[in-house]
Amino acid sequence: MAIPSLVPLTVAPIPSLSDDINKIRLDTAKIVSEHIIPNEDKLTTPASDDERQALIHDLQSYVKDSNLWAPHLPKEYGGMGIGFLGHAYMNEILAWSPYSNYIFGVQAPTSGNQSVLIKYGTDYQKKEFLEPTIRGEQTSAFSMTEPDNAGSDPRSIQTKAVKDGDEWVINGRKWFTSNGTNATWALVMCRTEEEDGEGGVNDRMTQIIVPTNTPGFNIERSVPVWGHTGGSHCEIVYKDVRVPLQNQVGSRGSGHAAAQDRLGAGRVYHCMNSVGQMWRAFDLMVKRAAERKVHGGMLEDKQFTQAAIADSYIDIQASRLMTLHCAEVIESGADPRTEISAIKIFVPNAMHRVVDRAIQIHGAMGVSGDTPLAGMYLGARTLRLADGPDEVHRILIAKNVFKRYHAGLSWDFGVL
Ligand SMILES: Cc1cc2nc3c(=O)[nH]c(=O)nc-3n(C[C@H](O)[C@H](O)[C@H](O)COP(=O)(O)OP(=O)(O)OC[C@H]3O[C@@H](n4cnc5c(N)ncnc54)[C@H](O)[C@@H]3O)c2cc1C
């Protein structure tokens, strides 16, 4: 059945934005609402795999011809080169459909790995691993979290890499390595140093590229997530995995800093993505309320429904403005850590509330596969854990607040 929507979702130019960013927003909205959303059925349940591949190829070609390919990459790497804020605004629109990111060439975790290699990679790594992912010939995974150690404190990881001649030898166990089954290579977070460096225990980790066909890279299982058994969040045993020293990314001990770089920017993209999904959920709930008759009247005339619509509008606008503010802080060069933690807590929780209300208004249809709401709901709940659980970010905000207070600094409203 067709996925209902008030299609076409549209955007208007924002006066305070540059013409370039406004054009990107409008062009993106046109492709997502007129070409991707109407094809969601075919992308979800195609008549054949060939039909799906052909459709994806056509849509990707259209995106490339429209100069909207790979918004996260600089121009010299074949991307749009639109900077952080431009990408954030674009992500809000991409998220209207769960298929957009792939069709616009910005698919996690490979997009995050690409950014790490652009910043930390050697010429050899760029040629062998980065460029093939940009051309779509390779895909990748990020392998940090371990079943036996706290992912919320990545400094605790125990997977070890030991130097032996001109090779790194890696041993350990990881899980929740997303895209593990499809990846050509994984960026693996390893403990390489026995002693703390200048940055303390943070300096003990190094990221190393491991091609997934290396002997000893053993996928034990794909961890079922929300009852879904066919995913690719893999549990992987690294058993005497040998890779050349030239696969080490950045200097020894730089692994934690590189992960924070990746996750900091990633959290803003995730939040703008959540805002876009909230708009889609909102659009669906408004349409349903405006068309559904219950107990002798329209759903939209019931005050419980009106409260759900109003509270959702408030949640979306608050999330959107907080996230854009955070993106502006990053773009300005100021320290964004408090803002990043604040949106990382607020936005997934707001999305959880908005999608929950949208599901309630849809009744049974809300939990069916006939709308994207069920997937959004599980995604919102997952986001409260992935990229750092709420508690860790609360602690970080409070630490920054007290640090500022004890240093006798004034409150610069908006940037701590
Ligand atoms: C769908 C999915 C995909 C993922 N993809 C990847 C991936 O591609 N690569 C990768 O490396 N990882 C991935 N992860 C892992 C994710 O990053 C971790 O799950 C996350 O960092 C939390 O780590 P943990 O699960 O070990 O929880 P733990 O660290 O064990 O924490 C458990 C709970 O303890 C509580 N807690 C933690 N610290 C504190 C504290 N200081 N005070 C109070 N309470 C606290 C929180 O409620 C937290 O949820 C993925 C996870 C999911 C669910």
Q: What is the pLDDT of residues 27-84, one digit of tens each?
A: 999 999 999 999 998 998 888 999 999 999 999 999 999 999 999 999 999 999 998 8
Residues 36 and 8: beta-carbon distance below 8 Å: no
163 forms beta bridges with 168
Instruction: Enter the tokens of residue 330.
Output: 């990053």
Backbone angles phi and psi of 243, in degrees to 5: -130, 155
Tell me, in angstroms, the distance from the centre of ligand 1 to residue 149's CA: 10
Question: How far is 146 from 240, CA to CA, in rounded Å?
Answer: 17
Crossing angle for the helix pair 390-406 and 337-362, to the nearest 10 degrees: 140
Cα–Cα distance measured from residue 34 to residue 24, given in angstroms and rounded to the nearest whole number = 15
Average pLDDT, the chain: 92
Is the CB of residue 343 less than 8 Å from the CB of residue 414? no
- Asked whether the beta carbons of 384 and 352 are under 8 A apart, the reply is yes
What the block records as the tokens of 50 is 């060939």
pLDDT tens string, the chain, 416 residues long: the values are 444 454 457 788 999 899 999 999 999 999 999 999 999 989 988 889 999 999 999 999 999 999 999 999 999 999 999 988 888 899 999 999 999 999 999 988 999 999 999 999 999 999 999 999 998 899 999 999 999 999 998 888 999 999 999 999 999 999 999 999 999 999 999 999 887 777 777 789 999 999 999 999 999 999 999 998 878 999 999 999 999 999 999 999 999 989 888 887 788 889 999 999 999 999 999 999 999 999 999 999 999 999 999 999 999 999 999 999 998 888 888 889 999 999 999 999 999 999 999 999 999 999 998 999 999 999 999 999 988 899 999 999 999 999 988 998 877 656 66
How does DSSP assign 69-89, residue by residue? S-TTS-GGGTS---HHHHHHH
Q: Cα–Cα distance between 254 and 70 in angstroms, integer?
A: 26
Tell me what percent of the residues of the chain surpass a pLDDT of 70: 96
Give percent helix, percent strand, percent coil of the chain, each to the nearest 5.
Answer: 55, 15, 30
Name the residue among 131, 53, 68, 125 with its Cα closest to residue 101. Answer: 68
Distance 402 CA to ligand 1 centre (A): 25
Helix (H, G, I), strand (E, B) or coil at 297: strand
User: Which residues is 293 bridged to in the sheet?
Assistant: 298
| Identity at 200, one-letter amino acid code | G
Q: What token pair was written down for 387?
A: 């990229």
Q: Which among 110, 148, 152, 228 is the best mutation to test ligand 1's pocket, defined by most ligand atoms within 8 Å of the CB?
A: 152
Inter-residue contact 214 to 198 (CB < 8 Å): no
The per-residue pLDDT for range 91-140, each reduced to its tens digit, is 999 999 999 999 999 988 999 999 999 999 999 999 999 999 998 899 99
Q: Which residues line ligand 1 (CB under 6 A)?
A: 109, 142-145, 150-152, 176-178, 225, 233, 382, 385-389, 391-392, 395
Q: Report yes or no: 155 and 135 within 8 Å, Cβ to Cβ.
A: no
CA dihedral 79, 90, 321, 9 (to 10 degrees): 180
Most distant CA pair in the chain, distance:
79
Closest Cα to atom 36 of ligand 1: 391
Given a contact cutoff of 8 angstroms between Cβ atoms, the answer to whether 56 and 44 are in contact is: no
In the chain the domains, ranked by start, together with CATH numbers, are 19-106 (1.10.540.10), 137-251 (2.40.110.10), 257-406 (1.20.140.10)
Ligand 1 center to residue 199 CA distance, Å? Answer: 23
Ligand 1 atom 52, closest CA: 386
Residue closest to 112 by CA, chosen among 182, 189, 210, 187: 187
Token pair for 96: 């209207």
Which of 143, 176, 187, 399 maximizes ligand 1 atoms within 8 Å of its Cβ, making it the mutation to test the pocket? 176
| pTM score, whole prediction | 0.91
Ligand 1 mean position, distance from CA 121 (Å) = 27
142 forms bridges with which residues in the sheet?
A: 187
Q: Residue 296: which region, alpha, beta or left (left: phi > 0; alpha: psi -120 to 50)? A: left
